[in-house]
Structure 1
Amino acid sequence: MNILISSTSGEPIYAQIVTQVRQLILQGELGAGTPLPSIRQLAKELQISVITTKRAYEELEREGLINSIVGKGSFVSGADQEFIKEQRLRILEMKLKEVSEESRQLGLSYAELAEMLKLIYEEEQE
């Protein structure tokens, strides 16, 4: 698991961990049952506080993305595929809102934006 922490980001370190692990899970790169590094191990690798790592794991557990078992560690939960799909759709909606706002600021029409999306979508399928 490769997590990159940015000290210049305005986002707290624990939130950076949550965002990156969430993304790995929702993209299917970390499947159900996959063990995560221990809290201490991840803290050591990232050279951060154990408290920060613990906070990130607690947040992921609240979201239902991981399960922590005392004495065994933390694992990607076996959340049903419908739940994971809903989470991914929510992320997609946020990205589309961002693209929509940017296109408005550039003065693009809906037709121009739709054409760009169509071209990119078709290009990816080749």
Structure 2
Amino acid sequence: MKILISNSSNEPIYEQISSQIKSMILKGELIEGEMLPSIRGLARDLQISVITTKRAYDELEREGFIESVQGKGSYVAGQNKELMREMKLKIIEEQLQEVVKECNVLGLSYQEVIEMLRILFEEV
């Protein structure tokens, strides 16, 4: 599992960790039942505090992304398919908002953006 921490980010480290793990789960890179690195192991690998890693895991568990079993570790939780779809749609909407902002900065028309999307859909 590859997690990148940015010291220049305004986002707290624990949120960087939890958001990257959420993203991996939503993308299917981490699957239901898959064991996550131990809190201590991840803290060691990222060279951060165990408390920070625990906070990230606690947040993920509170949001239903992972399940922790005392003495055994943390695992990717089973996900509600409809909830997963809604979460993925939310991510896409946020990304599209950024694209629209950039298009406005460049002065692209709606039709130009639609044409770019059409081309991209055909390539994929």
Give the TM-score category using the shorter length: over 0.9
1:8 aligns with 2:5: no
After superposition, give the CA deviation of every residue in 1:4-39 in whole Å (9 maximum; x if it has no partner): 112222221111111110111000010000010111
Counterpart of 2:46 in structure 1 is 46
Distance 1:122 1:14 in 2: 38
Distance 1:3 1:41 in 2: 13
Counterpart of 1:112 in structure 2 is 112
Give the partner amino acid of 2:11: E
What are structure 1's unaligned runs of at least 5 residues? none
SS for the counterpart of 2:4 is coil
SS for the counterpart of 2:82 is helix
Give the partner amino acid of 1:3: I
Counterpart of 1:25 in structure 2 is 25
Distance 1:96 1:63 in 2: 24
Structure-2-length-normalised TM-score: 0.95
Counterpart of 2:77 in structure 1 is 77
* Paired positions, count: 124
Give the partner amino acid of 1:56: A
1:95 aligns with 2:98: no
1:58 aligns with 2:28: no
Structure-1-length-normalised TM-score: 0.93
What are structure 2's unaligned runs of at least 5 residues? none
SS for the counterpart of 2:75 is strand
Percent identity over the alignment is: 58
Counterpart of 2:122 in structure 1 is 122
Deviation of 1:121 after TM superposition, in Å, equals 1.7
Give the partner amino acid of 1:103: C
